């Protein structure tokens, strides 16, 4: 019996996996993130995020300069949520120094933190649409963001980096004109929000692209330490503003937006996107309540000109647009600067889940997943 000769596979026709560098210069990595993806044709087998291209030694700087000098640096962490960053840092220093800030300042901090959350989510909404190939929502998002930036400019002088919350209060009081601008924004925003939903949220193609894509299970989300919309998108109702209220969040009424799996599975990209959309409206509610209940009084407590904190350590956390931003400060009473300053950056922790989620999907899905995690590289790399 003669052996049947099987045709050998032609070596020139063998397929092989391709290792592709997505970034650091790539349109949809939201800055200088580098994703190394192992692909088999259009299928992505594995994704490794590589970070560090935007490292600016924040923590080291925060240990070198005095406490009030750190505040403007915090603006540069998550540069889309400068108000929130400074808010969190000031809380840590105030806790260590035992400074009680005036109630009006607390209210103002919350108002601007929440307005900044809306501005940040508007950008997230716009860039997410860009990632999925829709151009127009981005400009619509910017149109409303512009109104917010005008308000921020009037109150702080800056349009991106505000340096508005200061240790012991806020930089300056709002004028009646700014209050009127905020009221105007509260009035017009809901209809614009409905417009976004018509344009993008309920668009059939958008739902097809995001529903059931990049599902993060609740236990995965908790395991990786996700916070913010990424965690809530997975159906875990954890919001620091509710769980550990700071500032005046215990005095205002708002809901936690949680992913319901409305269009697909709980924890998919659409859920994360939708949590952000709903949060914008919730933030608007908070701003409205704070503006109505804004107490009279000073906006700045008495703070020593040369601030020295007593020996000790403090960790404060705040709900940023991207999740829990924590500042851990160790102080020494002989020094005017921190012995140690450590930042727990939400984008950094949220990004870590990419490797787990972005595998065995299509190239286009990687973009959708990374976009839905909504990272800011300034905060990832610090």
Partner 1 sequence: MQEFVHFLQHDVLARISPPLGALPDQIVLLGAILVGAAPIVAFMAVIAMAWTYGERRIAGFIQARYGPNRVGPEGVLQPLADGIKLLAKEDIAPAGADRPLYELAPLLVFVGALLPFVALPFSEKWVISSMAAGVFYVLAFEAIEVIGIIMAGWAPNSKWSLYGGMRLAAQMVAYEIPMGLCLLTVVALAGTLNLGQICQMQGGAFGVGNWMVWPWVSPFATLAFFMFFVGGLAATKRAPFDLPEAESELVAGFHTEYSGIRFAFFFMAEYAAMYVVCAVATVCFLGGWHGPFREWLAPAAGAPTISDLLGKAVQVKTADGAWFVWANLWGALSVLGKWAFWKPMLYELLGAFYLIAKSFFLLFVMVWMRWTLPRIRIDQVIYMCLKVLLPFSLLCVLGAAAQTVFTDWNLLHWLLSAGK
**Footprint of partner 1 on this chain (CB under 8 A)?**
18, 20, 26-28, 41-42, 129-136, 139-140, 143, 199-200, 203, 205-206, 208-209, 362-365, 367
Two tokens at 377? 């590289």
If the CB atoms of residues 209 and 322 are measured against partner 1, the closer one turns out to be 209
If the CB atoms of residues 82 and 265 are measured against partner 1, the closer one turns out to be 265
Q: How far is the CB of 99 from partner 1 (least distance, A)?
A: 45
Q: How far is the CB of 47 from partner 1 (least distance, A)?
A: 13
> For the packed helices 103-131 and 136-156, what is the interaxial angle rounded to 10 degrees?
160
Q: How far is the CB of 183 from partner 1 (least distance, A)?
A: 23
What distance in Å separates the CA atoms of residue 280 and residue 191, rounded to the nearest whole number?
13
If the CB atoms of residues 13 and 306 are measured against partner 1, the closer one turns out to be 13
Q: Could you tell me the sign of the dihedral formed by the alpha carbons of 178, 184, 186, 190, in that order?
A: negative
Q: How far is the CB of 27 from partner 1 (least distance, A)?
A: 5
H helix intervals, 102-257: 103-131, 136-156, 176-196, 204-210, 218-223, 229-233, 240-243
In degrees, rounded to 5, the angle at the alpha carbon of residue 126 between the alpha carbons of residues 153 and 159 is 10
Q: Could you tell me the sign of the dihedral formed by the alpha carbons of 131, 137, 142, 147, in that order?
A: negative
Phi, psi of 133 (to 5 degrees): 90, 10
If the CB atoms of residues 128 and 254 are measured against partner 1, the closer one turns out to be 128
Q: Which residue in the block uniquely carries the two structure tokens 């952000």?
A: 276
If the CB atoms of residues 36 and 301 are measured against partner 1, the closer one turns out to be 36
If the CB atoms of residues 194 and 304 are measured against partner 1, the closer one turns out to be 194
What distance in Å separates the CA atoms of residue 312 and residue 299, rounded to the nearest whole number?
27
Q: Could you tell me the sign of the dihedral formed by the alpha carbons of 260, 266, 270, 272, in that order?
A: positive
Three-class secondary structure assignment of 367-380 = HHHHHHHCCCHHHH
Q: How far is the CB of 132 from partner 1 (least distance, A)?
A: 4
Q: How far is the CB of 129 from partner 1 (least distance, A)?
A: 7
Q: Which residues contact 315 (CB under 8 A, 6 or more apart)?
A: 92, 326, 327, 328, 329
Q: How far is the CB of 203 from partner 1 (least distance, A)?
A: 6
Q: Which residue in the block uniquely carries the two structure tokens 């127009």?
A: 136
If the CB atoms of residues 170 and 368 are measured against partner 1, the closer one turns out to be 368
If the CB atoms of residues 133 and 310 are measured against partner 1, the closer one turns out to be 133
Q: How far is the CB of 161 from partner 1 (least distance, A)?
A: 25
């Amino acid at each position: 019996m003669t052996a049947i000769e099987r045709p050998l596979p032609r070596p020139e026709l063998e397929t092989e996996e391709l290792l592709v560098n997505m970034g650091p210069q790539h349109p949809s990595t939201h800055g200088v993130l580098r994703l190394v993806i192992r692909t088999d044709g259009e299928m992505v087998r594995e994704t490794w995020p590589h970070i560090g291209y935007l490292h600016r030694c924040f923590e080291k700087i925060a240990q070198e300069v005095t406490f009030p000098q750190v505040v403007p640096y915090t603006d540069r962490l998550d540069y889309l949520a400068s108000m929130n960053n400074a808010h969190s840092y000031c809380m840590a220093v105030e806790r260590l120094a035992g400074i009680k800030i005036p109630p009006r300042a607390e209210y103002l901090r919350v108002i601007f933190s929440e307005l900044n959350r809306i501005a940040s989510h508007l950008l997230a909404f716009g860039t997410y649409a860009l990632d999925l190939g829709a151009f127009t929502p981005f400009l619509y998002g910017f149109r409303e963001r512009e109104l917010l930036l005008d308000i921020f400019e009037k109150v702080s002088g800056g349009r991106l980096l505000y340096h508005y919350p200061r240790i012991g209060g806020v930089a300056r009081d709002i004028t009646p004109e700014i209050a009127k601008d905020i009221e105007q924004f509260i009035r017009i925003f809901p209809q614009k929000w409905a417009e976004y939903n018509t344009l993008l949220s309920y668009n059939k193609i958008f739902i097809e692209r995001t529903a059931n894509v990049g599902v993060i299970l609740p236990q995965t989300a908790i395991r990786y330490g996700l916070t913010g919309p990424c965690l809530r998108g997975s159906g875990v109702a954890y919001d620091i503003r509710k769980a550990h209220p700071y500032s005046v969040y215990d005095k205002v009424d708002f809901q936690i937006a949680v992913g319901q799996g409305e269009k697909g599975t709980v924890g998919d990209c659409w859920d994360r996107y939708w949590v952000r959309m709903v949060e914008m409206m919730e933030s608007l509610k908070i701003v409205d309540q704070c503006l109505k209940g804004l107490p009279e009084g000073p906006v700045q407590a008495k703070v020593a000109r040369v601030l020295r904190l007593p020996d000790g350590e403090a960790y404060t956390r705040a709900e940023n647009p991207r999740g829990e931003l924590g500042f851990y400060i160790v102080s020494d009473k002989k020094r005017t600067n921190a012995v140690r300053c450590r930042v727990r950056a939400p984008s950094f922790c949220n990004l870590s889940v990419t490797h787990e989620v972005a595998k065995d999907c299509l190239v286009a899905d990687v973009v959708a997943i990374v976009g839905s995690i909504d990272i800011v590289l300034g905060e990832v790399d610090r």
